[in-house]
Chain A
Amino acid sequence: MTAIVVEALVKIVLLCFALMTAAAYLVLLERWIAAWVQDRLGPNRVGIPLTKIKMFGLGQPLADGLKFIFKEVYTPSHVDKVLYIVAPISILAAALATFAVIPFGSVLPSDLGFPQPDGGPIRLVVAPGIDVGMIYVFALSSLAVYGVILGGWASNNKYSFLGGLRSSAQLIAYEIPLGLGILGVVLAAGSLRLDTIITSQATSGLWNVLVQPLGFLVFLIAAFAESARLPFDLPEAEQELIGGYHTEYSGMPLLLYLIAEFLHMVTAAFLIVILFFGGWHFWGLTGSSDEIGWGTAILRVVVLVVKVLATIVFMMMVRWSWPRFRFDQLMALAWKVMLPLGMVNLVLMASLVEYGEDITATWGRAFLIAGMWIATLLACLAAAWIAPLSGDNRPRMDAA
């Protein structure tokens, strides 16, 4: 009993520390990438304090954090005092709690030199026994909307309120394609556990992105929308809403919002990698069994982190490559394009699992994969034909 509690606490402390540091440095990375895309220098001055050493600006997150901490927490007089403080806390709590079931590696070697709590090797995930890991992530991501709505409402400000409303509509709409994308993966692995999903990809050597590109497309776009990254950042569109739901915030509460936002992005990147890109698996490097030594254990963590970082860099590049959607385009994309595509993927995967199980020959598999890609292409063409998004960008004349 005590050993399990200690094990969980150690993992929680490690994870929180790593996530907070990662969020701080991801802000720096985002600013560097923004500067690089826009052909300017970006933050490169802050190094070690009181010296002239610059270190490429690696001290910048520390300075940013200190600035946030020492700023006055100004509460405007017209806000709902209690909810104004509760909202950012709740969104950060939900964002952090998501990581309870997300594995940050595989397992530790079984000969650790000290007795292990429950017999088996220590798994690198805070809550290893949860059999419904995928639904847990889904449930907590659906709780994230509370922080945004409440923050927008409590601020008692039209821009904030509009941001909150936009956000709730957007998050509810995109939860459905998100779920459909997840369902295909769950069908393929036959389990809702994230570590089982990774292991099944590792043993077969086929990453899910190869087998179900359509599901990946749907999930990727829905994940962008759920983490409110550009081109889906309508809840806080600066040009339209100043800052959206956190217009009135400053100091620490604003910092909580910003960290939660980055954590949503990190969660999305982890899920993309775990569900579709094989998690800690890489061909010829990591193997697939649970009986491993220290070298493989560390290598798996490194592979996972590198993949996640690559995904995050991709998300940051997308930010500077795409213009923002208009709100009716956003909704049309969710309901008229993403939902049918997700359904198509689900039906394809269900029939594949039902009838394609006994195909073991390499050629048979290659044909299956080719068939899935062709089906993806056809489905996308059909969606573009039936529900074109960019046919007419003029203001709608039929609006009431």
Chain B
Amino acid sequence: MNWLTDKLGSLGAPGAWIVSHGPQATLLLATVLGGLGMWLMLPRGNAGGRRLGALLAALAGVVYGSQLVPVGSDEWFSEAVFLILAAVTVISAACTITFRNPVYSAIWFALTLLGTAALFLFQGAQFLALATVVVYAGAILVTFLFVLMLANPKGHAYYDRVSWEAFLSATAGAVMVGILSITLMKAFTTSPDAPKLQPPSAEALEKDILNTEHVAHLGAHLFSEYLIAIEVAGTLLLVALVAAVSIVGLDESSRRAERAHDFHG
């Protein structure tokens, strides 16, 4: 790496910054690459460059991966599982927004949700994982699919071929990912008294929601500390339900009135 340091040093102030902030500069590079790649991959009318975009995004993923903090060798199995799940989630999320056929996008989104649920499960959040699957993959996304199939069986309308504000959305996503990853990296590497990744404490395994009576502890938390939030959320859902029913009812009675009108008059 010496020749690179020398070359960068000859560039003046920016080069010196890059030399002194090695990991951050790498992450910045990866973020820019990833943002550019995603922008190229997003559906933009008939513009090409999707393969190049995929290549750039994959490169960004590799650079991000090179900055991973290695864990102890006895944990290799769980780390491998985590990495595979994370890769599946990220790749399917990218496919969700870059595919042009809305049905395929929905399927990739389902895979993203499954990956997210698996990551939750991996962290011991059993209820959250399965609630994600039941609510999002099992109910909401099925409704999406239902509507997509009814609305546009042939796919590929004009509005499926372009994504609105492709550049702005790619930039916003890249900025967010970049800030998050750089902050996280700073927290875990630079400062000496930084929090380190640690296995859950014995106390948490014993008493908190990581123990075997997971749901009981979760329920106790929800219905004591967060009782008001739960009740308010329930009421909100009820209000939405009543509103939906009333809209349907109005529609039906007005249609009946119309038919009666047609019949009599």
Contacts from A to B (Cβ < 8 Å): 1, 82-83, 86, 129-132, 135-136, 138-140, 142-143, 145-146, 149-150, 153, 161, 164-165, 168-169, 172, 175, 191-192, 398, 400
Pull 28 A–B residue pairs with CB atoms less than 8 Å apart, ordered by A: A83-B103, A83-B107, A86-B107, A131-B126, A131-B212, A131-B213, A131-B214, A131-B215, A136-B130, A138-B134, A139-B134, A139-B138, A140-B133, A142-B134, A142-B138, A142-B139, A142-B142, A145-B138, A145-B142, A150-B107, A153-B145, A153-B149, A161-B153, A168-B145, A169-B146, A172-B139, A191-B216, A192-B215
**Are A129's CB and B127's CB within 8 A?**
no
Interface pair B149/A1, CB less than 8 Å apart: no
Query: Is residue B255 within 8 Å, beta carbon to beta carbon, of the partner chain?
Result: yes
Contacts of A149 in B (CB 8 A): 142, 145-146, 149
B103 CB to nearest chain A CB (Å): 7
Chain A residues whose CB sits within 8 angstroms of the CB of B138 once the complex forms: 139, 142-143, 145, 175
- 5 closest Cβ pairs, A-B complex: A142-B138, A139-B133, A131-B214, A135-B130, A139-B134
A144 — nearest CB in chain B belongs to which residue?
B138
Kindly list chain A residues whose C-beta atoms are within 8 Å of the C-beta of B212: 129, 131
Q: Does B56 contact A (CB under 8 A)?
A: no
Closest to A152 in B: B149
Q: In the complex the two chains form, is A139's CB within 8 Å of B255's CB?
A: no
User: Which B residues from 208 to 224 make CB contacts under 8 A with A?
Assistant: 212-216
Contacts A83-B107, A142-B133 given; indicate if A168 touches B213 (C-beta within 8 A).
no
The distance in angstroms between the C-alpha atoms of A146 and B153, with both chains bound, is 17
Q: Report the contact-size class of chain B (Cβ under 8 Å from the partner).
A: 20 to 34
Q: Are B134 and A132 in contact (CB under 8 A)?
A: no
> By DSSP majority rule, is chain B's interface helix, strand, loop, or mixed?
helix
Shortest distance between the CB of A142 and any CB in chain B (Å): 3
Bound Cα distance from A165 to B143, whole angstroms: 11
Chain A residue numbers with a CB within 8 Å of B145 are 146, 149-150, 153, 168
Could you tell me if B142 and A168 are in contact, using CB atoms closer than 8 angstroms?
Answer: yes
Q: How far is the CA of A79 from the CA of B113 in the complex (A)?
A: 26
B77 at the A interface (CB under 8 A): yes
Q: Which residue of A has the minimal Cβ distance to B131?
A: A135
- Give the shortest distance, in Å, between B57 (CB) and chain A (any CB): 21
Q: Which one of A131, A135, A165 has the highest number of Cβ atoms from chain B below 10 Å of its Cβ?
A: A131
CB distance from A55 to the nearest CB of B (A): 43
B216 smallest CB distance to A (angstroms): 8
Determine if B137 is an interface residue (Cβ-Cβ < 8 Å).
yes
The residues of B that contact A136 with a CB separation of less than 8 Å are 130
A331 to chain B, nearest CB (A): 13
Q: Which residue, of B77, B139, B142, B143, has the highest number of chain A Cβ atoms within 10 A?
A: B142
Taking a contact as CB atoms under 8 Å apart, the answer to whether A146 and B146 are in contact is no
- List residues of chain B with CB within 8 A of the CB of A129: 212
| Complex Cα gap A143–B138 (Å) | 6
Which residues of chain A are near B133, meaning CB under 8 Å? 139-140, 142-143
Beyond A83-B103, A139-B134, whether A130 also contacts B126 by CB under 8 A is yes
Point out the residues of chain A lying under 8 angstroms from B126, CB to CB: 130-132
- Which residues on the B side are within 8 Å of A165 (C-beta)? 146, 149-150
Inter-chain contact B215/A146, CB cutoff 8 Å: no
What is the CA–CA distance of A175 and B137 in the complex, to the nearest angstrom?
A: 14
A168 to B131 alpha-carbon distance, docked (Å): 20
Instruction: Judge whether B110 is part of the interface by a CB distance below 8 angstroms.
Output: yes
**For residue A150, which residues in chain B have a CB less than 8 angstroms away from its CB?**
103, 107, 145
Query: What's the nearest-Cβ distance from chain B to residue A158, in Å?
Result: 10
